[in-house]
Amino acid sequence: MKSWVCRFVSMLLLAGICCLTAGCSREEDDGTGYGFTCTIPGNPECLDPQYTDNPNAQIVIENIMEGLLRLDETGAILPAGAESYTVSDDGLFYEFRLRNDCYWFSAGAEQKDAKPVTSLDYVFAFRRLLNPETRSPYAEEYLCLKNASAVKNGQQKPEKLGVSAPDGATLVFELEYPDADFLCLLAQSCAVPCNEEFFLSTNGRYGLDDRTILCNGAFCLTKWAYDAYGSGNFLTFRKNTSYYDAGNVSPSSLQFTIMRGQKAADEDFSQGNSDSILTDTYPVNYLQSEKYTVKSSCTKTLGLIFNPENEILKNKKFRQALAYGIDREEYARMLGGSLQPASGIIPPAVQMLGRSYRELCADEPLSLPYSPGEAAALFDEILPSVSANEISTLKILLPDSFSDTEAILSICQEWQNISGRYIGIDRVSSSEYRNRLQSGDYSIALYSFATPRNSCYAAVQSFAAQADLFGTDKKMLQEVLNSLSGNEPLSEKVALYGQAEQKILETQCFIPLFYQNLYLIYTSDNTDIFARPFSHSVDFRNAKHFG
């Protein structure tokens, strides 16, 4: 009896070892079937693609939803919900033929109940996008669509928008004017479809929880647990077996851990609680370790903006004096690693002709050069009519999340050396910074300008959309955009964008100081995870694990 029990136990152990070995072999062979974890710095709040611009929502939306087109790791445009498309010779008509194997799927639903995605879902999505009631932050980017401006301003009904569905599998866009970026626009997360019947069934709660969102992407949202006063907040996803390309989706599941702020997210990742993180914190410890893979993209431009209502700062010569008094070589030595000196508007991550735009168009000549003599002459001309008390009210508003304060202080010190007057800093919490910027309760502020997608035109267009904040002449900005909307070869466009940056920077309404890196970090036993830095998203569809 004892002998039989020993043999039985031995067989069980052997079977267990075989199973373990088989599991390891499978992962070592192709790395598929793993459940990935990712730490995000805040709650998505809303997953309505046409409405939200929350970066914590973008990473979710881009993993669970998909539009007509999508971008790969290099930024190349790939077909997604569309199997093919044609463009008219004049660039005003785009006709898309939809795939016949794209389906909607939701948490708790059976696969057999999945409904097909049709062209009407795209028509409804774009009408929502331009409908003024939606208050979409993306509407300005789609004004190239016929009647878009009139719809956005409430002058025409959304049904008049230049988007139509001749049948359930065909979608037609009619443009007001040609837009070389239109295909890129269709690859954005806000351009995904929206099912009207489901949207109406949510009774105004679309995208607010895991039961009020439909998925048509590589993963399906299964659980969204968030307590503003508690911990253990997360989102879980499983591979969407209804997805047309499910056979090439490597992970079996995803989990996003929701933290309170970037610092908490960084700490959670450092403790080994997740496989990956997207952060703008300089990852010095990870760069020095073979256990991690670090990928960086320089996606933001940080610069000084000036309250357009401030009487002193309205004086262009005063802003010029400040610009001449900035020594970029001096403060470059103080930067912690995630920042580099900037003299242009368009950040280095934006590509043109397969290269960084900043390699094709050097930014150094764009901003006014450091010239203490020029700065002193302008200060001498202006300051006699300005009291010391008035100057003392000027401070640079900084969010406490900005860590390179020493570089800003060096700029303030140089201004004092040249002018004899000191402009200090006002360091506040991130929430207070946002509130004061919105209410106009500041004189000077360090502002982070983010480009919405990998496009020079999008960068200039996004800047122009913030003309009121920057106090820049709208007519001039529109003229700049008009100069960039022609059909010239891309090789000729490089010089045009350089001229556009120069013209904008000549106003001194925005003085660029830094380009900021965004870092994707993941453990080295993982591969094929890539970031879409302009939307702050991480794509896991091809992610593999070899642990």
The percent of residues in the chain predicted with pLDDT above 70, rounded, is: 93
How is residue 106 written in tokens?
């939701």
Please report where in the chains the tokens 């008390």 appear, as a residue: 389
pLDDT confidence tier of residue 111, bands split at 50, 70 and 90: low
* pLDDT at residue 109, as a whole number: 67
Residues 165-215 pLDDT 10s: 999 999 999 999 888 789 989 999 999 999 999 999 999 999 999 999 999
Residues 219-259 pLDDT 10s: 999 999 999 888 889 999 999 988 999 999 999 999 999 99
Residue 448 clears pLDDT 70, i.e. is over it: yes
Residue 12 clears pLDDT 50, i.e. is over it: no
> Please, how many CA atoms are within 13 Å of residue 351, restricted to the half-sphere of its CB?
12
* pLDDT at residue 2, as a whole number: 38
Could you tell me if residue 420 is left (phi over 0), alpha (psi between -120 and 50 degrees) or otherwise beta? left
Is the Cβ–Cβ distance between 144 and 175 less than 8 Å?
A: yes
- Using CA atoms, how far residue 154 sits from 135, 151, 467, in Å, is 12, 5, 22
Closest C-alpha among 541, 526, 61, 9 to residue 294:
526
Using CB atoms within 10 A of its CB, is residue 531 exposed (0-12), middle (13-18) or buried (19+)? buried
The percent of residues in the chain predicted with pLDDT above 90, rounded, is: 74
* pLDDT at residue 451, as a whole number: 86
402-417: average pLDDT: 95
Range in 416-425, 484-493, 507-516 with the lowest mean pLDDT: 484-493
* pLDDT at residue 56, as a whole number: 93
CATH number of 297-518: 3.10.105.10
414-442: average pLDDT: 94
Sign (positive or negative) of CA dihedral 250, 255, 260, 265: negative
Q: Which amino acid is at 15?
A: A
Cα–Cα distance for residue pair 2/187, rounded to 1 Å: 67
Residue 453 clears pLDDT 90, i.e. is over it: no
3-class SS shares of the chain: helix, strand, coil, % to 5:
35, 25, 40
Distance of CA 122 to the CA centre of its chain: 22
Residues 373-401 pLDDT 10s: 999 999 999 999 888 888 889 999 999 98
Q: Which residues contact 285 (CB under 8 A, 6 or more apart)?
A: 270
* pLDDT at residue 272, as a whole number: 93
11, 15, 21, 27 alpha-carbon torsion, rounded to 10° = -170
Residue 24 clears pLDDT 50, i.e. is over it: no
User: Beta strand pairing status for 424-428 and 395-399?
Assistant: parallel
Cα–Cα distance for residue pair 457/366, rounded to 1 Å: 17
Is the Cβ–Cβ distance between 65 and 217 less than 8 Å?
A: yes
Can you name the residues that pair with 523 across neighbouring β-strands?
Answer: 292
Sign (positive or negative) of CA dihedral 470, 336, 283, 356: positive
Closest C-alpha among 427, 445, 418 to residue 510:
445
Cα–Cα distance for residue pair 534/184, rounded to 1 Å: 12
* C-alpha triplet 163, 164, 166: angle, nearest 5°: 160
Residue 28 clears pLDDT 90, i.e. is over it: no
Closest C-alpha among 269, 272, 237 to residue 251:
237
* pLDDT at residue 21, as a whole number: 35
Residues 34-93 pLDDT 10s: 999 999 999 999 999 999 989 899 999 999 999 999 988 777 889 999 999 999 999 999
Helices (H) and strands (E) in the chain, counts: 19, 25
Q: Which residues contact 144 (CB under 8 A, 6 or more apart)?
A: 175, 176, 177, 178, 179, 182, 185
Could you tell me if residue 386 is left (phi over 0), alpha (psi between -120 and 50 degrees) or otherwise beta? beta
423-431: average pLDDT: 93
Q: Is domain 38-291+524-545 in CATH 3.40.190.10, yes or no?
A: yes
Distance of CA 527 to the CA centre of its chain: 22
Residues 271-322 pLDDT 10s: 999 999 999 888 988 998 999 999 999 989 999 999 999 999 999 999 999 9
* pLDDT at residue 248, as a whole number: 94
Residues 356-368 pLDDT 10s: 999 999 988 899 9
- Using CA atoms, how far residue 396 sits from 133, 234, 391, 422, in Å, is 36, 37, 12, 11
Is the Cβ–Cβ distance between 33 and 45 less than 8 Å?
A: no
* pLDDT at residue 353, as a whole number: 82
Q: Which residues contact 269 (CB under 8 A, 6 or more apart)?
A: 39, 276, 277, 279, 521
457-469: average pLDDT: 89
Residues carrying CATH 3.10.105.10, the chain: 297-518
pLDDT confidence tier of residue 20, bands split at 50, 70 and 90: very low
* pLDDT at residue 392, as a whole number: 87
* pLDDT at residue 482, as a whole number: 84
- Using CA atoms, how far residue 201 sits from 107, 191, 387, 527, in Å, is 15, 21, 62, 40
The residue ranking higher by pLDDT, 271 or 483, is: 271
391-420: average pLDDT: 94
User: Beta strand pairing status for 253-258 and 35-40?
Assistant: parallel
Average pLDDT, the chain: 90
Closest C-alpha among 486, 461, 487 to residue 474:
461
pLDDT confidence tier of residue 161, bands split at 50, 70 and 90: very high
440-463: average pLDDT: 91
Cα–Cα distance for residue pair 460/472, rounded to 1 Å: 13
